[in-house]
């Protein structure tokens, strides 16, 4: 059964890029008059990533002998992320565009949209990392710090921090922050400006609560079998899923915008 799940997961991983590239084109071919992505695009892509997530987590839970509570929390957390990334956010984007024309500087630039994808990934990853570090401290206190191996060297985060500080000092502080983070701020302002934005906020709150529960279950399992690798394994699995979601979201949103162009205006 586990090998079968792994095979199905592998097939879905291969189908994921085909879904984000192909379903919007099928949607447009069937409903050429639509000015925005329809159910075939929005819910089709969402279902593909939901199925992929569920199968991967079932396989991981069985491999690591985790409990049903962990599986439920981990699946719920990831499904809420899938909903916000591939369903709610695109719907909110096009809903907002009905009433407001977007800045072409950002929304006609694949590079800046790519930067938005990176920023959003960093926000999700930061929350995920904080929960991991908190859970790791609990496990360390129970089974001893000698059994906890660092995930990565602190040299890279330190270098990034120093680089950002240098940018602020040399570039005039707040102005640099505004320029660097303007694409992200514009994206967040847009998706939270509609009624769908309230649903996104509630989904993100639920995701945080389920993530907390999943790490709690993983930490308890690590303590019970005195193996911190269980916790680290869940961290790397979750981080990998975040990378998958973010990279596929970028391909997805660029495909959708190419097929159903947003209303944009270039500032004079």
Is 121 within 8 Å of 246 (Cβ atoms)? yes
Q: What is the pLDDT of residues 70-113, one digit of tens each?
A: 999 999 999 999 999 999 999 999 999 999 999 888 899 998 89
Q: What is the pLDDT of residues 152-179, one digit of tens each?
A: 444 445 555 555 555 445 544 444 455 5
pLDDT of residue 228: 80
Give the structural domain span for 196.
2-265
DSSP H helices in 172-228: 174-191, 195-225
How many Cβ atoms are within 10 Å of 115's Cβ, its own excluded? Answer: 19
Q: What is the pLDDT of residues 243-254, one digit of tens each?
A: 999 999 999 999
Domains in the chain: how many in total? 1
**Three-class secondary structure of residue 43 per DSSP:** helix
Q: What is the pLDDT of residues 173-207, one digit of tens each?
A: 444 455 557 888 899 999 999 999 999 999 999 99
Minimal CA–CA distance to 221: which of 68, 55, 62, 65? 65
Tokens (6 digits) for 43: 């819910």
């Amino acid at each position: 059964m586990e090998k079968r799940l792994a095979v199905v997961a592998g097939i879905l991983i291969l189908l994921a890029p085909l879904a984000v590239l192909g379903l919007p084109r099928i949607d447009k071919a069937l409903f050429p008059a639509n000015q925005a992505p329809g159910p075939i695009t929005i819910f089709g892509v969402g279902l593909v990533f939901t199925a992929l997530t569920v199968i991967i987590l079932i396989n991981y839970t069985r491999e690591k002998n985790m409990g049903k509570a962990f599986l439920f929390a981990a699946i719920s957390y990831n499904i809420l992320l899938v909903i916000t990334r591939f369903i709610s956010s695109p719907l909110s984007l096009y809903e907002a565009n009905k009433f407001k024309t977007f800045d072409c500087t950002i929304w006609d630039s694949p590079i800046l949209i790519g930067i938005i994808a990176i920023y959003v990934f960093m926000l999700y990853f930061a929350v995920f990392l904080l929960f991991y570090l908190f859970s790791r401290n609990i496990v360390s206190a129970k089974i001893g710090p000698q059994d906890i191996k660092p995930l990565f060297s602190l040299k890279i985060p330190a270098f990034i921090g120093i680089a950002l500080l240098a940018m602020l000092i040399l570039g005039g502080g707040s102005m640099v922050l505004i320029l660097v983070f303007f694409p992200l701020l514009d994206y967040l302002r847009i998706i939270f400006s509609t009624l769908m934005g309230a649903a996104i906020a509630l989904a993100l709150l639920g995701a945080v609560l389920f993530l907390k529960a999943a790490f709690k279950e993983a930490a308890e399992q690590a303590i019970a079998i005195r193996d911190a690798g269980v916790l680290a394994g869940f961290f790397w699995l979750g981080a990998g899923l975040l990378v998958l979601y973010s990279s596929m979201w970028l391909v997805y949103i660029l495909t959708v915008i190419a097929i159903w162009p947003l209303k944009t205006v270039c500032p004079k």
